[in-house]
Amino acid sequence: MPIPQLSLQEIYGDISEQQAKRYATLKESFTQKYGRAPDFFSRAPGRVNIIGEHIDYHGYGVLPMSINQDIVCAVAVNHDKPVLRLANTQSQYKDFICTVDEVAIKGIDWHEYFLCGWKGVVENASLSSPCGMDVMLDGCVPKSSGLSSSSALVCCAAMCTARANQKEYEQVVIADLCAKCEKYIGTMGGGMDQSICFLGEVGKAKQIEFNPLRATTCHLPESISFVISNSLTEINKAAPCSQFNVRVVEGRAAAQILAKNHGLEWRSFKKLKQVQDALGKSFDEMMELVKAELEPGLYTRQQLQEKLEVTDEELLSVMLSPQTQTVQQFNVHNRAMHVFSEAARVHKTSATADASDGEKELGRLMTESHVSCSQLYECSSPELDELTAICRDAGALGSRLTGAGWGGCAVSVVPTEQLASFLDKVRENFYSKDPERMARVETALFATKPGSGAAYLCL
């Protein structure tokens, strides 16, 4: 399916006064800034991941939904001058300008995420002389909070570039392309965020599988609501040697040791799912192998070399990425246990979600996922542990961190009839005790529903 062109109503349902004002202001700011009206608008949503954390980059399926919080770009094409001019409605994000042959991604400023999407399309479509664009961006996905603001920006930029250069993409093709080009920024992530961004649908959570990329609707119980709560601490997963990138290579190390133990061509194994597929074993059997064959605790670089019978140089080339060349210690046992158990939880969720009592099972699996993220994957934070505990005490059937973690948001599943009292209790017990948290509670704590995927807008 190509990227659709939708009306505001098709995207948001009833259009609030606030939303109508937002689009009018964006149009006006664009015209003021560039002295002409925009030619078109692109819109890409953030997402919340219900379950399946840190397993997409190991090849496993995940269960996210797109949300109404999004990034919108107003765009006019520069046919006669090959210049990119980028501006943001939020003044803390500075203007950026360059010619199309000067594009360079050197850091992690907001405009560099835009350039990732631009570069992805330009390379994929082999555009030898891409046109210039004037762009004004307006975003309301909280940044670095696990709701995929970075991918929404990359995907939106790719859509702008495609339309400005008269290229049409199928949703799965551009999703795949965006997963690859976001890596220019320095993260080694999987494809969950870009996939749900394009494949999300109003009212539907999606089970996303990779290789080949596909999405099926997961029917969730009618009686529940999802609530996002932000711990109001941020992470930067793009930094070199960030914990995120370290986790990617720890999983890869586990995959390579297991592959070598079983006489496989271990150098070609980069993801844990590849090993499971090659061995033809169930999740439980893979967890047994992890217990039997990987040492709990940390492997030093020396120990990894001995295990794999390679030199440090070879370790650098077959296992470590440019971002993780200096990592010295690897917890392969716990990371692999998390990945196999979490992938199994995604399967259980989609198998049981619409059964009678499915909501209780979903809650239980979500809480189990949080414990695994916190204890085995070590991607939680004191604030997220506190917040998810408060959410469970407030009546959530289950609560877990969502997205990369180490800060950012939690997602809770709550019986809809208890939603109001749940929100009151979380406001009281997590936010109201701290004036800084309380000042941000309106945008930090909210119920959410599956929203529309990415679209061009008819306004």
Q: Exactly one of 70, 138, 176, 193 is catalytic; which is it?
A: 193
Between strands 329-330 and 299-300, the pairing is: antiparallel
Q: 142 to 181, contacts with ligand NG1 by CB under 6 A? A: 146, 148, 150-151
Of 25 and 211, CB closest to ligand NG1: 211
Interface stretch with ligand NG1, choices 184-192, 265-273, 354-362, 421-429 (CB under 6 A): 184-192
300: which strand partners? 329
187 is an interface residue for ligand NG1 by CB under 6 A: yes
Interface stretch with ligand NG1, choices 48-56, 196-204, 220-228, 350-358 (CB under 6 A): 48-56
Of 23 and 57, CB closest to ligand NG1: 57
Position among 70, 134, 176, 193 found at the interface with ligand NG1 (CB under 6 A): 193
Between strands 5-7 and 455-458, the pairing is: parallel
Position among 6, 56, 224, 323 found at the interface with ligand NG1 (CB under 6 A): 56
CA angle 305, 311, 315 (to 5 degrees): 65
138 is an interface residue for ligand NG1 by CB under 6 A: no
44: which strand partners? 71
Of 132 and 407, CB closest to ligand NG1: 407
Torsion of CA 90, 91, 93, 97, to 10 degrees: 110
| Other CB atoms within 10 A of residue 87 CB | 20
182 is an interface residue for ligand NG1 by CB under 6 A: yes
Quote the least distance from Cβ 355 to ligand NG1, whole Å: 25
Binding map of ligand NG1 across residues 94-133, x = CB under 6 A, - = no contact: ----------------------------------------
Quote the least distance from Cβ 137 to ligand NG1, whole Å: 18
400: which strand partners? 411
Quote the least distance from Cβ 153 to ligand NG1, whole Å: 10
Token pair, residue 389, equals 């505990």
Torsion of CA 54, 57, 61, 67, to 10 degrees: 70
Residues 65, 67: Cα–Cα separation, whole Å: 6
Position among 139, 142, 190, 251 found at the interface with ligand NG1 (CB under 6 A): 190
192 is an interface residue for ligand NG1 by CB under 6 A: yes
Position among 237, 270, 271, 392 found at the interface with ligand NG1 (CB under 6 A): 237
- Counting residues that bind ligand NG1 (by CB under 6 A) gives 18
Quote the least distance from Cβ 16 to ligand NG1, whole Å: 26
Torsion of CA 119, 121, 124, 128, to 10 degrees: -70
- HSE-CB at 368 with a 13 A cutoff on CA atoms is 18
Alpha-carbon distances, residue 98 vs 55, 102, 158 (angstroms): 37, 6, 17
Quote the least distance from Cβ 325 to ligand NG1, whole Å: 19
Per the CB < 8 A criterion, the answer to whether 48 and 399 are in contact is no
Quote the least distance from Cβ 301 to ligand NG1, whole Å: 24
Helix and strand element counts for the chain (H, E): 17, 15
Contacts of 51 (CB under 8 A, 6+ apart): 62, 63, 342, 345, 346, 349, 362, 365, 366, 369, 400
Q: Does the annotation count 109 as an active-site position?
A: no
**Matching residue, tokens 């140089």:** 313
Of 164 and 404, CB closest to ligand NG1: 404
Alpha-carbon distances, residue 10 vs 14, 43, 206, 459 (angstroms): 9, 12, 19, 11
404 is an interface residue for ligand NG1 by CB under 6 A: yes
Interface stretch with ligand NG1, choices 101-109, 186-194, 271-279, 410-418 (CB under 6 A): 186-194
By CB under 6 A, name the binding residues for ligand NG1. Answer: 49, 53-54, 56-57, 146, 148, 150-151, 182, 187, 189-190, 192-193, 237, 403-404
Which residue numbers are catalytic?
A: 193
